[in-house]
Amino acid sequence: MRPLVATIDLAAIRHNYAVAKRCAPGRQAFAVVKANAYGHGLGEVVAALSEQADGFAVACLEEAVAVRALHAEARILLLEGCFEAAEYQLAAQLGLDLVLQGEQQVADFLAAKLSRPLNIWLKLDSGMHRLGFSELGLRTWHARLHEAAAVAELNLLSHFACADERGHEMTEQQLEAFLGVLDLDFTQRSLANSAAILTIPAAHMDWLRPGIMLYGATPFAELGAAELGLEPAMTLTAQLIACREVAVGESVGYGAGWLAQRPSRIGTVSCGYADGYPRHAPSGTPLLVRGQRVALAGRVSMDMLTVDLTDLPAARVGDEVQLWGAQLPVDEVARAAGTIGYELLSKVTQRVPRRYRNA
Ligand SMILES: *Cc1c(COP(=O)(O)O)cnc(C)c1O
């Protein structure tokens, strides 16, 4: 069997959900489980949180169907709403909480003959300019939807563009835009992603939307997950499958891009970019062998990568290699590779078996 596995600590995810709730006592929280629960496995994560979570949030109807199959009662928020008119019937059958973020969506929603009224989350474009209505549009549609028989709760939602950069002026402006429509009658309000849950109490409102923090990674560049009290949920573990000596001036890997500056020992690891390890990670990106840090050496291949073991003479074929996880924060690997933990976690491919720990 290929020695590569993503071990998922479900107890850590429960712990991290509890951290989110503790940040905002008395509020409720949709556990964001889009994109296969950020790569951790939708079914297992929903099952692990099924007693604890107030609801779940997903990116599309296909994901909502999967959550509903696991949980008959949970509130399930469709973050981008429906993508076509034909989806509203199924959304109603599933009893989803539905975002309405644009004119076409409202028109299709109102034209659909639904089997039951739905909880609607009108989305305000508070400044990110990706989805949602301007203040004027929101006021217009609020008036229209407030009376509509197809609407159960009429709720308000928006999303921050820069909450991960503490003290960013845009966050204050977005919060003000949100507060500026609260004279309207909404049943529930939701604004906070992980970054805002952790650092902006004024944005907590009624429903939180924690995503990345559930998985034990940080939304912030300058504040680590451990400092935030979060526990890493995914540990990606491979093995050393080969070792060799490389003389000064010899190269390693595709493009012959890494050159030995000293007599070197090179280890080959059973993980590559087809597993989701970032191909653009430069030489020097950290990995753990026998619990010790070693540096990526040369280009990442599809199924393998190479590390410099020169300073770890005890390393042997068969040793465990941690790509990221419990002892090496995914955020640190992400930073070295010029990306964010979100991308590394959600891009671990199907080829990598997930193994679950529940206590
Ligand atoms: C993905 C998403 C979230 C979760 O964001 P994190 O930064 O992962 O906490 C919250 N709200 C919306 C609208 C999202 O799309």
Residue partners of 33: CB distance under 8 A and separation at least 6: 42, 45, 46, 56, 57, 58, 63, 67
Kindly give the distance from the C-alpha atom of residue 124 to the centroid of ligand 1, in angstroms, as a whole number. 15
- Pick from 32, 38, 331 the residue to mutate for probing ligand 1's pocket: most ligand atoms within 8 Å of its CB: 32
Could you tell me the pLDDT band of residue 359, with boundaries at 50, 70 and 90? confident
Contact 186, 133 (CB under 8 A): no
- Pick from 79, 204, 220, 331 the residue to mutate for probing ligand 1's pocket: most ligand atoms within 8 Å of its CB: 79
Q: Buried b vs exposed e over 223-248: b needs ≥16 C-beta within 10 Å? A: bebeebebbbbbbbbbbbbebeebee
Integer Cα distance of 129 and 315 in angstroms: 51
Has domain 10-221 been given CATH number 3.30.70.640? no
How does DSSP assign 76-98, residue by residue?
Answer: EEETT--SSTTHHHHHHHHT-EE
The whole-model pTM stands at: 0.97
Could you report the per-residue pLDDT of 278-331, keeping only the tens digit for each?
999 999 999 999 999 999 999 999 999 999 999 999 999 999 999 999 999 999
Reply yes or no on whether 17 is catalytic. no
Integer Cα distance of 25 and 23 in angstroms: 6
Kindly give the distance from the C-alpha atom of residue 314 to the centroid of ligand 1, in angstroms, as a whole number. 43
* Ligand 1 pocket residue status of 32, Cβ below 6 Å: yes
Going by alpha carbons, the residue nearest to atom 6 of ligand 1 is 211
Could you report the per-residue pLDDT of 248-268, keeping only the tens digit for each?
999 999 999 999 999 999 999
Share above pLDDT 90 across residues of the chain, in percent, rounded to a whole number: 99
pLDDT, averaged across the chain: 97
Integer Cα distance of 171 and 190 in angstroms: 15
Integer Cα distance of 273 and 101 in angstroms: 35
What is the number of alpha carbons within 13 Å of residue 231 lying toward its C-beta?
14
Reply yes or no on whether 123 is catalytic. no
- Interstrand relation of 55-58 and 28-32 (parallel, antiparallel or unpaired): parallel
The catalytic position among 34, 38, 88, 273 is 34
pLDDT at 221 over 90: yes
pLDDT (mean) for 144-172: 96
Residues 234-357: name the CATH superfamily.
Lyase, Ornithine Decarboxylase; Chain A, domain 1 (2.40.37.10)
Helix H or strand E segment including 175: helix 169-179
pLDDT (mean) for 31-41: 98
Could you report the per-residue pLDDT of 71-119, keeping only the tens digit for each?
999 999 999 999 999 999 999 999 999 999 999 999 999 999 999 999 9
Kindly give the distance from the C-alpha atom of residue 84 to the centroid of ligand 1, in angstroms, as a whole number. 22
- CATH 2.40.37.10: which residues of the chain? 234-357
